[in-house]
Amino acid sequence: MTALTGPARTVHVEHCMGTVFSIDIRDDGDWRDAIGAVASWLHRVDALFSTYEDDSEISRIRRGDLRALDASPEITTVLDLCAEVQVATWGAFTAMPDGRLDPTGLVKGWAIERASVLLRERGSTNHAVNGGGDVQLAGEAALGRPWRVGITDPLDRSRVLTVVSGRDFAVATAGTAERGPHIVDPFTGRAAAGFASATVVGPSLTRADAYSTAAFVLGPRALCWADENPDYEVLLVGADGSTSASAKWRDAS
């Protein structure tokens, strides 16, 4: 579904990967072809990486029916990124959270960031691509007005906990609000506990998405991690509703 809601806004909603993606373009023009390219891209990623479809390449690799070296180039790209992120997060992120290959903790953010690149290549300088609450933002919301993204309280979904603001940035949250305890701590092999959510803000949604999972696992140590990674900011919400943030957290509420 594509809706034209003004001379400088085009909004499209796409159902894919078991969630809802929204493409919000704040530039004048006819963006139907660009949106079509983004939608095709998202469905290709789903077809390659779905762990729920038996014929996806990831499922075939997991069964031993396909070698990763023989898979599509996107598979290699993602697995290489997962290896980089595992090192960058002190081992708190892994593409094998339960002992089996599952890079989905990085895939959605990577797909969204690439969707933003596709829009830029087709001439859009101001847009937001949102997938299930994880968002890559380009340019401005309007002339002279930065984007503002509300961070929902994981313990009260009707309440906005805080707002972050800026240009050309990404926001990703990992937590238990939507799917319950599902993030595996690779150090223990059990579901990570003690926190309700971890939000990461930074330039790249590929990394922010994976880093939010790692931050959820790391807990308080994620704030020390952020000190060593100044391009990324972390907000933690405890199971009791308490919050803690890295030194450079951009609270614009």
pLDDT of residue 4: 47
Instruction: Tell me the per-residue pLDDT of 67-81, one tens digit each, with 9 for 90 and over.
Output: 999 999 999 999 999
**What integer pLDDT is reported at residue 138 of this predicted model?**
98
- pTM of the model as a whole: 0.93
- The half-sphere exposure of 184 on its side-chain side, counting CA atoms within 13 A, is 16
Residue 253: pLDDT over 70:
no
Q: How far is 214 from 191, CA to CA, in rounded Å? A: 13
The dihedral formed by the CA atoms of 195, 147, 252 and 220, expressed in degrees to the nearest 10? 20
* Mean pLDDT of all residues in 190-208: 92
Task: Say what the alpha-carbon torsion angle 40, 45, 50, 55 is, to the nearest 10 degrees.
Answer: 80
Strand partners, 11: 3, 24
At 216 the pLDDT is 95
At 176, is the pLDDT very low, low, confident or very high (cuts 50, 70, 90)?
confident
Average pLDDT over residues 33-47: 98
Q: Is residue 204's pLDDT more than 50?
A: yes
CATH class of the structural domain 2-245: alpha beta
- In this prediction, residue 182 carries a pLDDT of 76
Across 198-221, average pLDDT = 97
Highest mean pLDDT among 93-102, 184-193, 209-218: 209-218
* pLDDT tens per residue, range 114-170: 999 999 999 999 999 999 999 999 999 999 999 999 999 999 989 999 999 999 999
